[in-house]
Amino acid sequence: MDPAVEERIRARAYEIWEEEGRPAGRDVEHWIRAVLELARDGNIRLMPGGVLQTDGVDRDHRRPGGS
């Protein structure tokens, strides 16, 4: 998995975990929810076989590649 994609997912999953009061044992649920939210918002694309792909644009910085 692209490290930038993984970090976006990780950050959102962490936010979800905090929003829900830091419950134990729901890490997979939070990860999946983060993936689905990012895909819905157009930040990542879900590809066949479970592959995640970005469009090459860091939406926070609005530049290709995020640099």
Instruction: Write out the two tokens for 16.
Output: 């979800």
Summarised one tens digit per residue, pLDDT across range 13-56 is 999 999 999 999 999 999 999 999 999 998 888 877 766 666 55
Identify whether 14 is part of a domain: yes
In angstroms, the first-to-last Cα distance of the chain is: 19
The helix/strand/coil state of 43 is: coil
Identify whether 49 is part of a domain: yes
What is the per-residue pLDDT for 9? 94
Domains held by the chain: number: 1
What is the per-residue pLDDT for 42? 85
Identify whether 16 is part of a domain: yes
Task: Please tell me the pTM assigned to this model.
Answer: 0.70
Domain ranges, residue 41: 3-55
Identify whether 60 is part of a domain: no
Identify whether 65 is part of a domain: no
